[in-house]
Amino acid sequence: MIEAYGKTFFEKADRAKIVVPQNTWLFSAAEDVIEMAQAYASDGFVFLKNHDEVNALASFAYGNGWLDTGVKAGLIASLSTGIPPSGCAEEIPENLSDHLSEKTFRYERMLTTALTSVCINSEPELPLYSAAEELCRIAHLHYHEGTTEIQRNNLADGLALLSYAYGWIDAGVRTGILRVVKNNELFTI
């Protein structure tokens, strides 16, 4: 399931097309989104090759959050792979259970802090304000779904959802929709 998710995500990221004209200010933001999504897709397969299904799942989900943010922002055209699939726990080998636990709870702490470290980078009466509100709503939704999975002791699905939500927030910062007000080290800026 993790490998199939990665392949689907990789194909979507690889086929993503920038839809804003090259000579516009938004073109570099679109390039960043595609570059980050493709880098995390590639990283995920390196992790899989090295039998690290935990980091592979997190990498695919995080990059997928970037890709979906770029699509929703109208910067790129790609089919969304949607939220990470549930049921990934069966694919995490027993010998990686401590790694899964550590990474999941670390991502939960980091994302909790990251969500309170950003603000909307627009005035309320401007169009990007509602875009930023929606971006934050989506990230918070998947954050809460992730923490619910963690409470159910389903750490793999929790990690995937947290990573996906983190991708949305980080892409929102990188594209200028959100602004970092503290804890810069938590973001790709």
Distance CA 187, CA 189 (A): 6
**What average pLDDT score do residues 23-40 get?**
95
The pLDDT of residue 152: 96
Range of the domain at 110: 2-186
Positive/negative CA dihedral, 33, 35, 36, 38: positive
Confidence check: pLDDT of 184 > 90 = yes
The pLDDT of residue 81: 66
- pTM for the whole structure: 0.95
The pLDDT of residue 98: 97
Residues with Cβ within 8 Å of 65's Cβ and at least 6 positions away in sequence, in order, are 163, 164, 165, 166, 167, 168, 170, 171
Amino acid at site 176: G
Confidence check: pLDDT of 60 > 70 = yes
The pLDDT of residue 79: 72
Mean pLDDT of the chain: 94
- Domain count for the chain: 1
Report angle CA 76, 88, 171 to the nearest 5 degrees. 25
DSSP3 helix / strand / coil % (the chain, rounded to 5): 70, 5, 25
